[in-house]
A and B are shown apart, each in its own frame.
Chain A
Amino acid sequence: MDTTTIIGMVSIIVAGFTITIGSIAPALSEGRAVVQALTAMAQQPDEANTLSRTLFVGLAMIESLAIYCFVISMILIFANPFWRQAAAKAGGGG
């Protein structure tokens, strides 16, 4: 098995694992955040605007961790520098 094959195989497997494992924790914590926000809105309906604004800001910050993992897996699949280098070397040499 030559280097190009190994690079391609590992990139694909790791890209799959990255997005899978990386979105477990943000999903769970976003659920908890929404539960707390809904409870607070039920207790104080007058502050619903402030609560939902703070909720959205918090959700965006939690979401950004999942976005980091998504960006890494996209780079591994579509813009992989090691794959391009290996493919260029294989194409030029072979």
Chain B
Amino acid sequence: MMTITPDQIVYCTRGALKLNATIVFAWAVMAALTLVAHLSTRRLSEEISISRWQNMMEVIVGGIRSQIRDISGNSSGRYVPFVGTLFLFIFASNILAVVPGFHPPTSSLSTTAALAVCVFFAVPIFGVAAEGLFGYLRHYVQPTPLLLPFHIVGELSRTLALAVRLFGNIMSGTLVSAIMLSVVPLLFPVFTDALGLLTGAIQAYIFAVLSMVYIASAARAHKANRR
């Protein structure tokens, strides 16, 4: 019986709470990311010669910051923690899918829905922080109040689209790898795994960029055009 999500792999049950593979592997990814970040930033130096790990961290953070600056203009500092964490968590959990026995937590609709709900709440929070409550609410009735239902439904549908896009890509990657293993086990599963790596990286980037686009369009100063 092929399970399409790791929600159905339950390790232990206590009462109404189930410890399934999604939770275990999500916490494993979080622990791995935290460990790498902690170990590589223990002794930061501002000299010319820096350690390799600090160099890697600077490349990653600098790259994320420049990408965010391209999308949101100048004020990129306050968005880097949230959007950078989204990207790194999704990237790590998609890349680690090639490790045998690892079930990526993003192949479960629970995880991707949770991430999309985080973005859904982050957009008004950043918008109100940038423009004030009435400035943000004015977005909904521009250019005409007749478009208010479309704005609201658009917000809900793009949150749903974020969740289902990431879930569909990663779940299909793992499922196609499993099917390929049962059909042609010699060399072709390697190619499907490689394709899964590529789509995982692209989907992590897409999720982060789309979240940044939504946040930037909500936090933009009073301009005539909107995205």
Residues on A facing B (Cβ under 8 Å): 50, 53, 56-57, 60-61, 63-64, 67-68, 70-71, 74-75, 78-79
Is B209 part of the binding interface, using a Cβ–Cβ cutoff of 8 Å?
yes
Is B70 within 8 A of A67, CB to CB?
A: no
Determine if B169 and A67 form an interchain contact, defined as CB atoms under 8 angstroms apart.
yes
For the complex formed, measure the closest distance between the CB of B182 and the CB atoms of chain A, giving whole angstroms.
13
B contact patch SS: helix
- 29 A-B Cβ contacts within 8 A? A53-B67, A56-B202, A56-B206, A57-B206, A57-B210, A57-B213, A60-B202, A60-B203, A60-B210, A61-B161, A63-B165, A63-B169, A64-B161, A67-B164, A67-B168, A67-B172, A68-B164, A68-B168, A70-B172, A71-B168, A71-B171, A71-B172, A74-B172, A74-B175, A75-B4, A78-B2, A78-B3, A78-B175, A79-B4
Bound Cα distance A50, B209 (Å): 12
Minimum distance in angstroms from A73 CB to a CB of chain B: 10
Q: Check B203–A70 contact: CB distance below 8 A.
A: no
Q: How many residues of B contact A (CB 8 A)?
A: 21
| B3: chain A residues within 8 A (beta carbon) | 78
Residues of B within 8 A of A56 (CB): 202, 205-206
Q: By DSSP majority rule, is chain A's interface helix, strand, loop, or mixed?
A: helix
Interface string of B69-80 (1 = CB under 8 A from A): 010000000000
Residues of B within 8 A of A50 (CB): 70
- Chain B residues near A63: list those with CB within 8 A: 165, 169
Q: Type the 1/0 row for B1-18, where 1 means its CB is closer than 8 Å to any CB of A.
A: 011100000000000000
CB of B167 closer than 8 Å to a CB of A: yes
Q: How far is the CB of A85 from chain B (nearest CB, A)?
A: 16
